[in-house]
């Protein structure tokens, strides 16, 4: 048998092994449970009130919620919206800010951008951090390594297994929440689906770093806390870089902005990822962007394509380094 088919089979077996591991560790059920809760939340959503149809797709509608509308507003001919958003099957109620579609849009931005992209990705990184160290324990892996399987294929298979597992849950989350919101409100926002590749990209880049830490340390704690620290560091670097662009020249030595720029391009860019979310979900009408990102965008200093590519490249390089380290690791 040539090396490539065996490598492909190894990757396939490792993906299957990760699925079984997720079943045994009950992570599959925990994540399904969370998706179920979010779906329930979406099913509890109802939006009543006005429907606004703009004459132009980019028109900013002139209207205010009923609670904020005084006589002078009505006198000026501005449309007053009297709808209501209700969550938890009527437990929480608040007035519709602008139109029904905007209220649903705001809810989706909150679900995808805050809940899934921040809380979801962090939880997924935490919960899957132990998968690889368990697999790499000398007592577990020595018999596997004494087989004609390339080591890189074992590692890649395990990595892909976890990414596919998280990807499956991300798909399920997006589908279930999108479908239930559509069912309840009749608003089927297709842009919401753009959240799926961005979520997957963010997770896969940071999980590659977790894999490298697991290979180097062969323990659970280092990838667990190391990845969280790294996530914070990348946010800090991303914000710092965008902040530097708004500062006056001469406030710092010439070396500092250079180092920040190099750090920005080398590391993953979670703030830019979040900005990308903001753009693809067209959240400008319903949520405020991160000010540093907005300022950098205004100066033309954020190139979304390059930002995404360099983040993905970081993940790839780190994964190759992990495979290299694993190839020469002794057991």
Partner 1 sequence: MNCAVHWEHVSKFYPVGPTGWRRVTAVEDITLSVPYGSVFGLIGPNRAGKTTLLKLLLSLTYPSAGQIYRLGRPAHDIHTLSRVGYMHENHAFPYYLTASEILYLYGGLTGLAGAELRRRVEEELRRVGLADRQHEAIRTYSKGMLQRLGLAQALLAEPELLVLDEPTEGLDLAGRQLLRQVVTAMRQQGKTVLMVSHTLAEIEQLCDRVAVLVAGRLAFTGTMAELQSNHLEYDTLEKKLMAIYEQRIAI
Residues 6+ apart with CB under 8 A from 134: 21, 140, 220
Among residues 259, 263, 257, 270, which one has the least CA distance to residue 308?
A: 270
φ and ψ of 242, to 5 deg? -70, -35
Residue in 43, 69, 144, 313 binding partner 1, rule: CB under 8 A: 144
For the bound state, the minimum distance from the C-beta of residue 129 to partner 1, rounded and expressed in Å, comes to 17
* Alpha carbon distance 159, 208 (integer Å): 7
Residue in 149, 177, 180, 204 binding partner 1, rule: CB under 8 A: 149
Instruction: Give the per-residue contact string, 150-189, with partner 1 (x = CB under 8 A; - = no).
Output: x---------------------------------------
Window 50-109: residues binding partner 1 (CB under 8 A): none
For the bound state, the minimum distance from the C-beta of residue 158 to partner 1, rounded and expressed in Å, comes to 12
For the bound state, the minimum distance from the C-beta of residue 186 to partner 1, rounded and expressed in Å, comes to 44
Among the candidate windows 4-12, 42-50, 192-200, 206-214, which touches partner 1 by CB under 8 A? Answer: 4-12
Q: Are the C-beta atoms of 188 and 182 separated by less than 8 Å? A: yes
Residue in 55, 56, 58, 147 binding partner 1, rule: CB under 8 A: 147
**Residue labelled with tokens 């099957």:** 89
Tokens encoding 77: 């001919």
**What is the DSSP track for 128-176?**
HTTHHHHHH-HHHHHHHHTSSS-HHHHHHHHHHHHHHHHHHHHHHHHHH
Residue in 75, 91, 143, 249 binding partner 1, rule: CB under 8 A: 143
Neighbours of 70 (CB within 10 A): 9
Window 20-49: residues binding partner 1 (CB under 8 A): 20-21, 23-25
* Alpha carbon distance 166, 129 (integer Å): 12
Q: Which is nearer to partner 1, 168 or 265 (CB)?
A: 168
Site of interaction with partner 1 (CB under 8 A): 1, 3, 6, 9-10, 13, 16-17, 20-21, 23-25, 137, 139-140, 142-150, 328, 330-331
């Amino acid at each position: 048998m040539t090396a490539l088919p065996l490598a492909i089979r190894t990757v396939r077996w490792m993906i299957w092994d990760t699925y079984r591991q997720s079943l045994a560790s009950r992570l599959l059920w925990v994540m399904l449970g969370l998706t179920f809760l979010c779906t329930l939340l979406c099913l509890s959503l109802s939006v009543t009130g006005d429907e606004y149809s703009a004459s132009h797709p980019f028109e900013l509608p002139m209207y205010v919620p009923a609670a904020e509308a005084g006589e002078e507003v009505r006198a000026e001919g501005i449309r007053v919206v009297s709808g209501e958003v209700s969550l938890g099957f009527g437990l929480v109620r608040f007035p519709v800010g602008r139109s029904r579609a905007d209220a649903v849009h705001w809810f989706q931005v909150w679900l995808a951008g805050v809940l899934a992209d921040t809380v979801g990705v962090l939880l997924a990184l935490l919960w899957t951090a132990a998968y690889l160290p368990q697999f790499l324990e000398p007592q577990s892996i020595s018999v596997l390594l004494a087989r004609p399987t390339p080591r890189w294929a074992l590692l890649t298979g395990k990595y892909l297994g976890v990414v596919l597992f998280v990807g499956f849950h991300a798909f399920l989350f997006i589908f279930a929440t999108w479908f239930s919101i559509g069912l309840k409100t009749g608003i089927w926002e297709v842009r919401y689906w753009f959240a799926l590749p961005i979520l997957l990209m963010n997770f896969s880049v940071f999980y590659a770093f977790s894999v490298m830490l697991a290979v180097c340390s062969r323990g659970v704690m280092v990838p667990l806390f190391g990845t969280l620290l790294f996530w914070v560091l990348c946010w800090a670097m991303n914000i710092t870089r965008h902040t530097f662009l708004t500062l006056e020249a001469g406030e710092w030595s010439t070396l500092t902005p250079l180092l920040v720029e190099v750090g920005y391009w080398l590391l993953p860019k979670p703030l830019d990822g979040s900005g990308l979310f903001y753009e693809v979900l067209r959240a400008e009408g319903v949520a405020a962007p991160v000010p540093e990102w907005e300022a950098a965008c205004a100066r033309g200093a954020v190139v979304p394509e390059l930002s995404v590519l360099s983040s993905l490249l970081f993940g790839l390089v780190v994964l190759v380094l992990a495979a290299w380290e694993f190839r020469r690791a002794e057991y």
